[in-house]
Every structure is written in structure tokens, then in C-alpha cells.
Amino acid sequence: MKHFTAKLSHDNGTIFIKTAASTKKAAINNIMLAENCPESAIEIKPIPKALYSMNAKHLFNSIVERVNSIKIQDVKKGEFVSVLRGNGEPMKKVFEVEGYCRTNKAYELTNVEDINDFKYLKKNKLVIIRDI
């Protein structure tokens, strides 16, 4: 199974479609059936297998991490966590939750490997519970 990206130009504008098929011709036929368009409206390019598998792996990991995540205010003091970045991937550092700091109005975390490394997280920040 090969993966393709197609650019479909029509009266209302341009759309991009990703599809999988055994051949380029089969991919074009699938798009023509789904979108009810002529073959001349479709420009299709194959996606390199390495690139597709890398994107799929990244997307899958991101979804799994989001499902397993928990808000910082729901974590108990003394538990070990990793902070989620904006793209959904966790940081490699593991932190211990020290509790809520009223001065900074945020939750205080201390790096397990370096006691001088602190992190303050505002309410609703997503983290993942870790084991050491």
C-alpha cells in the first residue's frame, strides 16, 4: 500500500487530500469517485514511505500521550511527572511535584536529577505521571 497526497482544483477553490492505494492510478480513481471530479482536476504525488511512517509514528505517540495526560492540579504532592510540550510530546526530564506555591500562583516542580532545576506550572497544564 502506497500513500499519496493529491491537489484537487475545482470551482470553489483548491483542497489537498491524502489517500492510500496500491498504485497511482487506483489513487486517482478513488479520488474521482469520492469527489465526483474529472481526472484533469487532480495533481497527485507519492509520499515517501520513510516520511509517512515517521509522521504516523509521531501522530500516534502524540495521541497516546494526550490520552494518558492529567492536569497538574489533579496530581498529588510527591508524585513524579513529565510536562507535555505544545506539540503533545513529553519532556525527557522527570519532575517531582512539590505542591502549590502561593507566591508564584503556580504549581512547583523540582527536577529529580538536579535539585536546582525548578519549574512552575499554571493551572490546567497537562502532565504525564512517571515512574522512576
- Domain span at 11: 2-66
The reported pTM is 0.52
Cell readout for 50 is 520513510
- The total number of structural domains in the chain stands at 2
Same domain assignment for residues 40 and 11: yes
| pLDDT tens digit sequence for 40-73 | 888 888 776 655 565 666 665 565 555 678 899 9
Q: What is the pLDDT of residue 13?
A: 79
| pLDDT tens digit sequence for 93-103 | 999 999 999 99
- Indicate which CATH number applies to the domain containing 36: 3.10.20
| Distance in angstroms (rounded) separating the CA atoms of residues 54 and 69 | 22
